Chains A and B, each alone.
Chain A
Amino acid sequence: MAIIVDDKSRVLVQGITGGAGKFHTKNMIEYGTNIVGGVTPGKGGQEVEGVPVYDTVHGCVMGENPDVSVVFVPARFAADAVMECLDEGLKRIILVPERIPIHDMLEVRHKAGKAGATVVGGNSPGVVSPGKANVGIMPPIAFSEGRVGTVARSGAITYYLADTLTHSGYGETTCVGLGGDPILGSNFEDILRLFDNDPETEAMVMAGEIGGLYEEIASQHMSEIKKPVIAFIAGLYAPPGKRMGHAGAIVEKGMGTAESKVKALSDAGVPIAKKFSDIPKLLEERIGKA
């Protein structure tokens, strides 16, 4: 088992004929990911890396029966791409494009919530279940099969977490790039719940960073998570950011800083790793030696 993607996943690539779509389709296939089809409107009937291209998600669903989509279309078309998948019944969608309009993402969350679907990103580096599937843009070099699930806002931090877990011998079940955009499809706790229900995952590492409220929101749901969670927060020494006007301040009241996130998570009983090398130590106390 793993979460979101595994060796049985049938993956659709939206925007497969674009530069990034093509390049990463090749990498994903090389990893062993089961890419069953692609969609680019107007390019139906072509092939990319031996994968059949369809004009619509509907066509691809009829022809190839995918159950996961990874989206490489430009940000302005990303919401449309997700909606198309949701209408065709896909329940797992990974958004690579960055800087998706925030009002679009509010609509995406609303619709995905009603459909009971998991949307990851935007600005997600993807989701890797080591040894099973690599969906997105992550270099496989950092990852190894193992016992710990990770979820991080930043792509590079996702790699460094995997690097740390791989070197220390714990390995990973699935690594989820939650995404760096302001309004994301999923929150930390959504992914932590999936890990909680995955029999192979023994503990989770979540990596947040300054800005946004995702870590504070997660802290309010920690009592629902049964397995051990360790948090890493980037930005403890960051210069103070710029304020966003009264309306934001009235709603958010000083949240979003590294201190606020560390405090919220610590108060919820989540241990904080200050450096990557603290992570294996904290894991050992909770799930034993690697």
Chain B
Amino acid sequence: MRLYEYEAKEIFENAKIPVPPRKVARSAEEAKTAAEEIGFPVAIKAQVLVGGRGKAGGIEFADSPEETEEITNRLLGLRIKDTPVHSVLVEKKVEVEKELYIGVTIDRFEFKPIVIVSSEGGVDIEKVAEEEPDKIHKLHIDVNDKLRSYQGRLLASSAGLQGKMISKVGGILQRLYGVFKKYDAKIAEINPLIVSGESVYAADAKLILDDDSLFRHPELKEKGISMRHDVSELTEREKLAQAEGIPYLDLDGNIGMFPGGAGFGIASIDLVKQLGGEPANFMDSGGGPTPERIAKMLDLLVDNPNVVTIFGARFGGISRCDDFAKGVMIFLEAKGTKKPMIMRMTGNKWKEGMEILENAKKERPELFEKIEVFGIDTPIEEVAKRAVEVAREEAGG
């Protein structure tokens, strides 16, 4: 979970990392008042959870109350990478002498925290890493250790800092590392860290937390920071799915994908593509969905006007095929058979699942006109082939 800049800055400030005076504003009026309190010139920065804000025109400077209002109105009307801007951060403009980059993340090759410092920070930091790798300095930290003072000084001096700045920036590195550990972060980053005379400021702040560790941080909730999803980039159906807690993505095709598991969800897209079909979505049905949830997932697919055929597969492990079959029945009884469904069931309780569907078919054959169910004897690729074939007929007809 990524925090807004203003949230990250509050955490950094509490950790004694120097941050310029600032205030969040949600209207031009609020921004003007904030700017007058802080004193001109100010930076006005769109608050969004996507990167590339500076390049998209999301940061501007103002010298007067009028300019502040004008810029804030413009920023609040802006969309950055399809994300609307709901607030801005009004911040004291800092004279830039030197821009550094400092960051802490997990090195997923070495499975250790890694501290990164660059003498050239700013928006082109990734280009620097690519083209001038000797300007980037890295240090792995032992999982059970902290960043020591001498390590902070070593990194600061390799980034070309001199005199008092070595200990100053070294100390900030230690505190940034402390925030990284304390908040179970995936990334804690300051880019740029501005050197201005005798002072140093975190001009930007990025903090991405591990969603799976949020239970350890009830203090975030007290600050008004709770689990969030960035819904602005989602399609209507994706929002619907997200509200139900179903991992779902829209794709361009016409085969509604209803696989079991995230890994197979991804693999089944490959499979259908290789067989000449076009998946309409990615979905992860998760481990052990209830019948009601399965029915909901099928609703999502059948309500999608692009979907002409549904391809379902269930390999019961922690989940059970009888639950899968029950879910299919809830769905069929509520919605009827509007679209063909080609499915395979095997694994945990697959025979019981087949029985449920066979018995239901005897009672209400009309519900099963467009349903084909296969068991363990038919390989998954054969079933996928059949789904692609049916989709082609449906799309052609």
Binding site for B on A (CB under 8 A): 20, 75-76, 98-104, 106-107, 109-110, 125, 137-139, 141-142, 152-157, 159-160, 163-164, 167, 180, 182-183, 207, 209-210, 212-213, 217, 232, 234-239, 243-253, 274-277
A209 to B262, CA, bound (A): 10
- Tell me whether B198 is interfacial, beta carbon within 8 Å: no
Mark B149-181 against chain A: 1 for CB-CB distance below 8 A, else 0: 000000000000000000000000000000001
Would you give the shortest CB distance from A215 to chain B, in whole angstroms? Answer: 12
Residue pair B262, A244 in contact (C-beta under 8 Å): no
Contact of B274 among A183, A253, A275 (CB under 8 A): A275
**Cβ–Cβ < 8 Å partners of B379 in chain A:** 163-164, 167, 276-277
A113 to B11, CA, bound (A): 34
Find chain B residues with CB under 8 A from A107 CB.
143-144
Bound form: Cα–Cα A237–B186 in Å: 27
Closest to A101 in B: B213
- Does B105 have its Cβ within 8 Å of any Cβ on chain A? yes
Sample 29 A-B pairs with CB under 8 A, ordered by A number: A76-B215, A98-B287, A104-B213, A106-B113, A107-B144, A138-B317, A142-B315, A154-B266, A156-B261, A163-B376, A164-B379, A183-B111, A235-B267, A237-B269, A237-B273, A238-B270, A239-B249, A245-B189, A246-B51, A246-B101, A250-B103, A251-B109, A251-B138, A253-B129, A253-B130, A275-B270, A276-B379, A276-B380, A277-B379
In the complex where A106-B113, A137-B318 touch, is A156 in contact with B259 (Cβ < 8 A)? Answer: yes
Q: Shortest Cβ distance from A233 into chain B, in angstroms? A: 9
Q: Is the C-beta of B59 less than 8 angstroms from some C-beta in chain A?
A: no
List the 6 shortest-distance A-B pairs measured between CB atoms, nearest first: A154-B263, A156-B261, A156-B264, A247-B105, A234-B267, A139-B347
Measured between beta carbons, the chain A residues less than 8 angstroms from B330 are none
Interface residue total, chain B, C-beta cutoff 8 A: 67
Q: Say whether A250 contacts B315, CB under 8 Å.
A: no
Minimum CB distance partner of A243 in chain B: B51
B187 touches A248 (CB 8 A): yes
What residues on B are CB-neighbors of A142 within 8 Å? 315, 346-347
A173 to B129, CA, bound (A): 45
A106 & B261 in contact (Cβ 8 Å cutoff): no
Contact A125 B317 (CB under 8 A): yes
Nearest A-chain residue to B278, judged by Cβ: A237
Which of A101, A167, A209, A213 interacts with B216 by CB under 8 Å?
A: A101
Contact A251 B105 (CB under 8 A): yes
Contact A209 B267 (CB under 8 A): yes
Give complex CA distance A268, B262 in Å: 27
Chain B 178-194 interface residues, beta-carbon cutoff 8 Å to A: 181, 184, 186-187, 189, 191
CB contacts (< 8 Å) of A157 on chain B: these are 261, 263-264, 267
Choose the segment among B14-22, B32-40, B204-212, B300-308 that binds chain A (4+ C-beta atoms closer than 8 Å): B204-212
Q: How far is the CB of A76 from chain B (nearest CB, A)?
A: 6
In the complex, are the beta carbons of B348 and A139 less than 8 A apart? yes
| Contact among B187, B215, B317, B380 for A155, CB-based, below 8 A | B317
